[in-house]
């Protein structure tokens, strides 16, 4: 990328732009119907074990491990098709694409996600997010450890990071400090976990849903004050300035 942008906007996917909790709930219902409650429970036990091991959700990797335990399970082939062909565009949060369009008027918009190298790109492509950000997609194992690569690919004076995981926001804030504005959308199970909320500070800007960013002005994002306490700056659509 030529030159240095004044601002680059980095957007997470799962439970930030896309309701991944609903995807998981749909998968659970499908599994219970196809293989029963016991095997569904076992699949999600493997899923959580692998998430702890890798640091991100790996649906296909969990399916492969499940297969080792049930090598003759005929429904596995149907499950793989279900995951690959899932209609992710139906699970975008309301106004997610509108937010991307608005931010693109202010600077490059980049998907910054954790995940595997097969299913996560497929999810981003099928949801329409890949084309919405014009192919500006970065997927890492641990994105907070790859900030040098992010800077090399998308150099900027300032970054705006939107993510539902307070752990990630806090880790990147410690590294980039005043060069980043962290935005916390209170969406998904991580965003409402009392243990996580007690352990990490809120973002520089906090919204109840991604669509509320349509009422936030550019300078408010780029020049958001770093809060001295844990509260951050709440943004309400009722209090936000009208869109232009």
Could you please state the CATH topology (level 3) that the domain comprising 20-88 is classified under. GTP Cyclohydrolase I; Chain A, domain 1 (1.10.286)
Using left for φ > 0, alpha for ψ between -120 and 50, and beta otherwise, residue 97 falls in alpha
pLDDT recorded at residue 63: 87
- pLDDT score, position 129: 98
Per-residue three-class SS string for 178-207: HHEEEEEECCHHHHCCHHHHHHCCCCCEEE
Instruction: List pLDDT tens digits, range 80-112.
Output: 888 889 999 999 999 999 999 999 999 999 999
**DSSP letter string, 90-149:** GGBPTTHHHHHHHHHTTS-EEEEEE--SSHHHHHHHHHTHHHHTTT-EEEESSGGG-HHH
Q: How many residues does the chain have?
A: 244
Residue 238 has pLDDT above 50, yes or no: no
Start-to-end CA span in the chain (Å): 28
What pLDDT sits at residue 231? 53
Closest CA to 220 of 202, 239, 194, 193: 239
Write down the CATH superfamily of domain 5-19+92-234.
HAD superfamily/HAD-like (3.40.50.1000)
Rounded CA-CA distance 210/193 in Å is 18
pLDDT tens digits for 112-157? 999 888 899 999 999 999 999 999 999 999 999 999 999 999 999 9
Pairing relation of β-strands 156-162 and 109-114?
unpaired
Q: Please write the tens of the pLDDT for every residue from 213-231.
A: 999 999 989 886 655 445 5
**Phi and psi at residue 160, in whole multiples of 5°?**
-115, 120
Domain boundaries, the chain: 5-19+92-234, 20-88
The rounded mean pLDDT for the chain is 88
Mean pLDDT in residue range 46-60: 85
Cα–Cα distances in angstroms (integers) from residue 23 to residues 86, 92, 120, 126, in the given order: 9, 10, 13, 13
pLDDT of 67 reads 85
Distance, in Å, from the CA atom of 157 to the CA atom of 9, rounded to the nearest integer, reads 11
* Average pLDDT of the residues in 2-20: 93
Question: What pLDDT is recorded for position 236?
Answer: 43
């Amino acid at each position: 990328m030529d030159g240095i942008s004044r601002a680059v906007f980095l957007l997470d996917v799962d439970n930030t732009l896309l309701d991944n909790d609903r995807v998981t709930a749909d998968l659970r219902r499908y599994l219970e119907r196809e293989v029963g409650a016991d095997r569904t429970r076992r699949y999600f036990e493997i899923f959580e074990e692998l998430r702890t091991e890798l640091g991100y959700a790996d649906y296909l990797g969990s399916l492969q491990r499940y297969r080792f335990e049930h090598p003759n399970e005929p429904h596995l082939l149907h499950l793989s098709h279900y995951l690959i062909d899932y209609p992710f565009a139906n699970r975008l949060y309301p106004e997610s694409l509108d937010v991307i369009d608005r931010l693109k008027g202010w600077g490059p918009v980049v998907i910054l996600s954790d995940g595997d190298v097969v299913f996560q790109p497929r999810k981003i492509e099928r949801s329409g997010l890949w084309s919405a950000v014009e192919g500006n997609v970065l997927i890492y194992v641990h994105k907070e450890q790859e900030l040098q690569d992010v800077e090399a690919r998308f150099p900027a004076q300032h970054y705006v990071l939107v993510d539902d995981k307070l752990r990630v926001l806090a880790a990147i804030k410690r590294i980039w400090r005043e060069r980043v504005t962290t935005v916390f959308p209170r969406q998904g199970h991580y965003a409402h976990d009392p243990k996580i909320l007690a352990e990490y500070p809120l973002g520089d800007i906090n919204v109840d849903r991604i669509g509320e960013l349509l009422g936030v002005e550019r300078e408010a994002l780029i020049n958001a004050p770093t809060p001295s306490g844990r509260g951050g700056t709440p943004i309400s659509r009722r209090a936000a300035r009208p869109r232009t």
